[in-house]
Each structure stands twice: as structure tokens, then as C-alpha cells.
Amino acid sequence: MIPAKFDYVRPGSVDEAVQALAGGGEDAKVIAGGQSLLPLLRLRLAYPDLLVDVGGIDELRGVTDSGDALVIGARTTHYQLTRDPLVAEHAGLLAEATRTVADPAVRHRGTLGGALAHADPAGDLPAVILALDATMIAHGPDGERQIEAADFFADYLTSALGPAEILTAVRIPKIGPEWGFRYEKFHRTAQSWATVGVAALVRRSNGSVAEARIGLTNMGTTPIRATAAEQAASGAAASRDALRAAASHAAEGTSPPGDLHGAPDYRRHLAEVLTGRALAAAAGV
């Protein structure tokens, strides 16, 4: 289908983009890579009056080292994330998960900011960002605001961003060499979307797990942390059996969707199995 008519602006700075959004009110929308928004426009599931294209704002691109964290511009593409040496060294889980997103064509256009602002619980990167304890940096009419990942994903396809706010960057605390990680994803061969995905980080110490962090993809209306499994894994022996036992708690507190890719119970089972695999791989056992 052809999208409904809209006005289009391509500002050169974040301030101009915020002004354009504020002027357009509820009917204005940011467009970045367009990989999620354009299908919605074509299906007429969204019909904004104004699109504010952030593709011309150079300050939104790239990865910088800020000491104990990486700051990744919202307009950085998936492809760039998979190739960036700083991301590979300090946020390897993000690079690993991004490689599983869609196909090369989508990864060349899709952006980290778009994938997070879209807040799709079936998207791979929200659960990863949650497990990485990242902070979102947003700009709006009142200036800059920082939002913890745990507070950013408000509901199904709904982020904590206000209507005139732009996600400008994501701050990711560096993951040191004492951490192992793994993104496990189960999907149908014909398409890349996760039926369920699990992002796991494990810090080992003296043969046991000192700390575990687990983010779940597609197990509710938002990405969620598997807190019961995290608690069970933390302090457990770094062995496959102990981590599998911890993973049996992965689906606690979740409410996965049922659709043609799987019933809720099937997804709960997948979450447990994938969490066991991800924890074991992250712990190197």
C-alpha cells in the first residue's frame, strides 16, 4: 500500500529536530532507518502528518569511549555496530546480538536508536540493552534527560520518550574481561524475528558465578530481566547442571504472547532451554 500523505523535514541538528517535533505535536514522528516505521506507514497502521528525518544529523552517529562506558549515537546503524572495534572490545554482547538482526540490507539502514525507540519486545536489541544496564540519553524541549534501560521500555511498542523527545545516544558500561556473554535466539528459518531470545552476561569468580544478568526477548509486552533465574545463578557453581537448574526459573513472572510461531507454554519452555545454554556459554562451561 502507499502511505498516507505526510510532510517531511530533514534537520541538521538535534535542536532543530526537537523544534520540528515540538511544532508537529502528537502527529509528528522521527524517522531514522525506516525499517520499522516504513512498513507501518505502508500498512497505514501509522499515519503521521510530519516525518522528522534524523539521517542528516552527524552528531547522532558513531561510537565514543567515555572511560568506563561507550556512548553510541542513536543513528549508528546495525552494520556499524557489528564492525566497530570499541563495541567488539567493550560491549561484545551487543555486537553478537546485532549480527542476528534481520539481513544485511536491513542492518545497513536500521539504527540502534530506532530499534530501541520502537520498543518491540520481539526485537533483539532491547533485551540486550536491558542486560547491559545501559542508559538512554534523550533530548527534548526541556534539554537532556537520562533514562535507565529498566525504565525505558514502558509497554508494547511504547518507550518512555515524550512526543517531542529524540533518543540521541545510548551509554553502555564497559564489560570487562571477567565477564562472559551469549545471545541465544530461536527463530524460524524463513525469518529472523526471535520466537524467544536470551541475552546473558556472567561474571565468574573462583569456579562459581559471582553475578548473572539475563534479558529476555519476546516474553512479554516489553523486554524483561529474568530476575528469578539471575538470583538462582548468582552464587551457583559454574557448571552446566547448576546453570540449567538456575535457568529453570527463567520464565517466572513472564507473560509471553501466543501466535502462529508458538504458544505461551512453548515460549516458556524455550526461555528455560535458551537461558541454560546462554548461561553455560557465557560462563564458558
Ligand X SMILES: Cc1cc2nc3c(=O)[nH]c(=O)nc-3n(C[C@H](O)[C@H](O)[C@H](O)COP(=O)(O)OP(=O)(O)OC[C@H]3O[C@@H](n4cnc5c(N)ncnc54)[C@H](O)[C@@H]3O)c2cc1C
- Extract the C-alpha cell encoding 209: 558465578
Options 4-12, 64-72, 142-150, 160-168: segment touching ligand X (CB under 6 A): 160-168
Examine residue 197 and tell whether it contacts ligand X (CB under 6 A): no
Which residue among 113, 223, 256, 262 contacts ligand X (CB under 6 A)? 113
Examine residue 123 and tell whether it contacts ligand X (CB under 6 A): yes
Which residue among 18, 95, 115, 147 contacts ligand X (CB under 6 A)? 115
Examine residue 54 and tell whether it contacts ligand X (CB under 6 A): yes
Distance CA 131, CA 109 (A): 25
Residue 282 C-beta: closest distance to ligand X, Å: 20
Distance CA 258, CA 107 (A): 27
Which residue among 11, 24, 114, 180 contacts ligand X (CB under 6 A)? 114
> Residue 122 or residue 285: which is nearer to ligand X going by CB?
122
Site size toward ligand X (CB under 6 A) is: 30
Examine residue 37 and tell whether it contacts ligand X (CB under 6 A): yes
> Residue 166 or residue 214: which is nearer to ligand X going by CB?
166
Which residue among 11, 14, 35, 220 contacts ligand X (CB under 6 A)? 35
Options 118-126, 127-135, 204-212, 241-249: segment touching ligand X (CB under 6 A): 118-126
Examine residue 33 and tell whether it contacts ligand X (CB under 6 A): yes
Distance CA 285, CA 200 (A): 14
Residue 29 C-beta: closest distance to ligand X, Å: 4
Examine residue 128 and tell whether it contacts ligand X (CB under 6 A): no
- Written as one string, the DSSP assignment of 35-99 is TTHHHHHHTTS---SEEEEGGG-GGG-SEEE-SSEEEEETT-BHHHHHH-HHHHHH-HHHHHHHT
Which residue among 86, 106, 237, 245 contacts ligand X (CB under 6 A)? 106
How many helices (H) and strands (E) the chain has is answered by 12, 14
Q: Which residues contact 232 (CB under 8 A, 6 or more apart)?
A: 245, 246, 248, 249
Examine residue 179 and tell whether it contacts ligand X (CB under 6 A): no
| Phi, psi at 236, each rounded to 5° | -75, 160
Contacts 24+ apart (CB under 8 A), 56-61: 56/10, 56/11, 56/12, 57/11, 57/12, 57/13, 57/14, 57/17, 59/13, 59/14, 59/168, 60/14, 60/113, 60/168, 60/169
284: left (phi over 0), alpha (psi -120 to 50) or beta: left
Examine residue 34 and tell whether it contacts ligand X (CB under 6 A): yes
Which residue among 72, 81, 101, 283 contacts ligand X (CB under 6 A)? 101
Examine residue 80 and tell whether it contacts ligand X (CB under 6 A): no
- CA distances to 133, 203, 209, 275 from 180, rounded to whole Å, are 15, 6, 11, 14
Examine residue 94 and tell whether it contacts ligand X (CB under 6 A): no
Options 88-96, 98-106, 208-216, 265-273: segment touching ligand X (CB under 6 A): 98-106
The one-character DSSP state at 266 is: H
Binding site for ligand X (CB under 6 A): 29-37, 54, 74, 101-102, 106, 109-111, 113-115, 117-118, 123-125, 161, 166-167, 192-193
